[in-house]
């Protein structure tokens, strides 16, 4: 794996935040992406505001990434409507 570029984590919920923190503790360049600023971010984690449903914004957020992690989700009752656009945005942003 190329560790020179950023590791971009889409989603700052429980899973995304834990992953971003772990990657940062390994000394990797980490960018966490979400629509809203999380209450806290670990040292070494850069936060970037973007809505992954917007493919242009997702691509911009993932520029320079070696790896993209999809840690987004939607409420189960709205999954059929909200999850596919999230997936498309993250997939189009992947290097």
Answer yes or no: is pLDDT of 13 > 90.
yes
| pLDDT computed for residue 21 by the predictor | 97
**pTM for this entry:** 0.91
Nearest to 71 by CA among 3, 1, 4, 20: 20
Which residues, other chains included, contact 51 with Cβ-Cβ below 8 Å and sequence gap of 6+?
A: 35, 57, 58, 89
Nearest to 49 by CA among 34, 39, 29, 32: 34
| pLDDT computed for residue 9 by the predictor | 98
What does the pLDDT average to over 7-29?
A: 97
What CATH number was assigned to the domain covering residues 6-93? 3.40.50.720
**What are the residue ranges spanned by the domains of the chain?**
6-93
Nearest to 34 by CA among 5, 19, 80: 19
- pLDDT tens, residue by residue, 43-60: 999 999 999 999 999 999
Answer yes or no: is pLDDT of 25 > 60.
yes
- pLDDT tens, residue by residue, 61-70: 999 999 999 9
């Amino acid at each position: 794996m190329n560790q020179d570029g950023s590791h971009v984590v889409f989603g700052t919920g429980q899973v995304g935040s834990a992953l971003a923190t772990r990657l940062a503790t390994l000394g990797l360049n980490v960018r966490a992406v979400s629509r809203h600023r999380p209450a806290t971010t670990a040292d070494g984690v850069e936060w970037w505001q973007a809505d992954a449903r917007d493919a242009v914004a997702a691509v911009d957020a993932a520029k320079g990434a070696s790896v993209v992690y999809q840690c987004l989700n939607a409420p189960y009752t709205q999954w059929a409507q909200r999850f596919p656009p999230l997936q498309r945005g993250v997939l189009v942003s992947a290097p």
